[in-house]
């Protein structure tokens, strides 16, 4: 008897293949030069671990289309990156593809580019592939072992994900900055931005347009000075780098199933949130600024803010209100002045101001190789030195930071903060 050879052209087989292949395509984590991601085909790119998803979306009631990344498994759509935030598509027929010159490009309905990675690598670096990694980083790479040609982690929107860096790459001149959405339904660049400043003792600032509204305080070994809520967490490791090559802050999750973000809201608040699976909601761990004392330069020079006192502004010991103004009149900007001028002849001394947010560090000098005693001696010998403190509070304290000039943007804490040693004339030490 002749053996029967199955006929794979059976119509039911066609149905099976038709159903199977779109399902496989929907969970692809890469985009090749021969593929196109369009709004009309409703396809997305999903990371291998199915944590993140990339595709086109319209936020809220908006009719504009954007290419973005969000958490796939979280039912509350949470966007963490937007490509064309300032160049949205007005019609639902745009596309994403890899161009002939190996750039990622978003095209509108008339095939006009509205966003691009703007690389100059040229076609010789092919084959090039775009890939959504497990950590939410969307990258463009070839077989070149030198690394990625481009990555979304270098161009944040309003959210810092685990392993993403905030700050400067001094070799390339790249400055990674968070910028808020304009509104809750408009991802275009808003008024608020968060930037890591590299002058003196590095710290990050929140800006409203060009005006500083909040300062984090410097990194003091395990957290930023003005964020006492940044306590060690078993599943989160903080990293701060200050070297000749970069100044950056990042964090790493030791438990991949814990979702945590640091984001800048459209209202100017920077906040740490964790996703709570049991309640199916984001939980806010901390946020800044949160009270009047977080306002930048609230109490002027040599004044400090205490949220538990009325009025909130007070002068450091050895200082008095300048020009006769009074805190109660809300005239806080002029701050305080010395009661007695420094002699700079060896008779000056220091008062320890406890549990403080360290002053603005733009005009500071650092020496991480000496301790507090050597730091005191160094400040005493320098007539321009006005205060000193440790650069690192861990293990009893180490390092030395010296302020020259005015001391401003200081606040006190009931718990947390750091000791600041302010230089005073001998007459004011008693």
**Is there a single domain that holds both residue 275 and residue 351?**
no
Q: Are residues 85 and 199 in the same domain?
A: no
In a domain, 306, yes or no: no
- Return the CATH number at 256: 2.90.10
Residue 3 pLDDT greater than 60, yes or no: no
Q: Which of 26-30, 246-250, 304-308 has the lowest mean pLDDT?
A: 26-30
- Do residue 49 and residue 97 come from a single domain? yes
* Residue finishing a domain among 134, 155, 176: 155
Q: Which residues pair with 370 in a beta bridge?
A: none
Q: What is the pLDDT of residue 15?
A: 36
* Alpha helices (runs of H) in 1-95, residue ranges in sequence order: 11-26
Instruction: For CA atoms 160, 163, 168, 171, give the dihedral sign.
Output: negative
Q: Are residues 107 and 117 in the same domain?
A: yes
Q: Are 115 and 10 part of one and the same domain?
A: yes
- Residue 70 structure tokens: 């969000």
Q: Please indicate, yes or no, if residue 315 is contained in any of the structural domains.
A: no
Cα 307 to Cα 296: distance, rounded to the nearest angstrom: 14
Residue 246: DSSP 8-state: E
DSSP 8-class letter at 113: E
Half-sphere exposure of 336 (CA within 13 A, CB side): 22
Give the whole-angstrom CA distance, residue 399 versus residue 24.
56
CA distance 266 to 243: 32
On whether both 14 and 120 belong to a single domain, the answer is yes
Quick one: pLDDT at residue 277?
93
Residue where one domain finishes, among candidates 155, 174, 196:
155
Report pLDDT for 229. 87
When divided into structural domains, the chain yields a total of 3
Is 300 domain-assigned?
no
**Ranges 8-17, 18-27, 162-171, most confident:** 162-171
Q: Quote the tokens at residue 220.
A: 């003091």
Query: Are residues 3 and 144 part of one domain?
Result: yes
> How far are the Cα atoms of 147, 154, 166, 243 from residue 169, in angstroms, in the given order?
15, 10, 10, 10
Residue 303 placed within a domain? no
Identify any residues that bridge with 400 across adjacent strands, giving them in sequence order. Answer: 367
Beta strands 260-264 and 270-276, pairing class = antiparallel
Residue 167 and residue 136 share a domain: no
Judge whether 301 lies within some domain.
no
Count CB-CB contacts under 10 A for residue 89: 23
Residues 286, 329: one domain? no
Residues 278 and 424 occupy one common structural domain: no
Same domain? For 148 and 160 the reply is no
**Which CATH number fits the domain that encloses residue 61?**
2.90.10.10
Find out whether 336 and 319 touch, Cβ atoms under 8 Å: yes
The phi, psi pair for 125, rounded to 5°, reads -85, 5
Residues 194 and 142 in one domain: no
Q: For position 333, what pLDDT does the model report?
A: 65
Domain boundary among 155, 190, 219: 155
Residue 429 pLDDT exceeds 90: yes
Torsion on CA atoms 203, 207, 211, 217, rounded to nearest 10 = -20
Q: For residue 209, give its domain range.
A: 156-290
- The pLDDT confidence band at residue 20, using thresholds 50, 70 and 90, is very low
């Amino acid at each position: 008897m002749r053996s029967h050879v199955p006929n794979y052209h059976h119509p039911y087989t066609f149905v099976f293949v038709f159903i199977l292949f779109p399902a496989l395509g929907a969970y692809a984590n890469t985009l090749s030069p021969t593929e196109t991601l369009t709004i009309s085909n409703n396809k997305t790119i999903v990371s291998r671990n199915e944590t993140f998803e990339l595709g086109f979306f319209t936020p809220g009631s908006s009719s504009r289309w954007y290419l973005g990344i969000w958490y796939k498994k979280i039912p509350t759509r949470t966007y963490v990156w937007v490509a064309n935030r300032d160049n949205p598509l007005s019609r639902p027929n745009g596309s994403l593809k890899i161009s002939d010159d190996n750039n990622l490009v978003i095209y509108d309905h008339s095939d006009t580019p509205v966003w691009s990675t703007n690389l100059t690598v040229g076609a010789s670096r092919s084959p090039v592939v775009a890939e959504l990694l497990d950590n939410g980083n969307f990258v463009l790479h070839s077989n070149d072992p030198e690394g990625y040609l481009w990555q979304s982690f270098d161009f944040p929107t309003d959210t810092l994900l685990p392993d993403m860096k905030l700050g400067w790459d001094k070799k390339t001149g790249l400055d990674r900055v968070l910028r808020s959405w304009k509104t809750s339904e408009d991802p275009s660049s808003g008024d608020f931005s968060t930037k890591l400043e590299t002058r003196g003792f590095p710290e990050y600032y929140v800006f409203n347009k060009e005006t500083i509204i909040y300062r984090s305080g410097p990194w003091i070994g395990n957290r930023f000075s003005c964020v006492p809520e940044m306590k060690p967490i078993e599943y989160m490791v903080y990293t701060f780098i200050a070297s000749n090559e970069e100044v950056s802050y990042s964090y790493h999750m030791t438990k991949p199933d814990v979702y945590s973000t640091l984001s800048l809201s459209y209202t100017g608040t920077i906040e740490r949130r964790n996703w709570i699976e049991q309640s199916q909601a984001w939980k806010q761990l901390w946020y800044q600024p949160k009270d009047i004392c977080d306002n930048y330069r609230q109490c002027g020079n040599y004044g400090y803010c205490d949220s538990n006192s009325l009025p909130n502004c007070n002068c450091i010991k050895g200082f008095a209100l300048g020009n006769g103004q009074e805190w109660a009149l809300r005239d806080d900007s002029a701050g305080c002045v010395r009661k007695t001028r420094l002699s700079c002849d060896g008779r000056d001394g220091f008062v320890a101001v406890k549990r403080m947010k360290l002053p603005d560090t733009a005009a500071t000098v650092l020496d991480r190789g000496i301790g507090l005693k050597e730091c005191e001696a160094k400040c005493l010998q320098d007539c321009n030195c006005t205060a000193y403190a440790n650069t690192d509070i861990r293990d009893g304290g180490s390092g030395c930071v010296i302020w020259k000039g005015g001391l401003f943007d200081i606040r006190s804490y009931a718990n947390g903060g750091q000791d600041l040693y302010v230089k005073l004339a001998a007459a004011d030490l008693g």
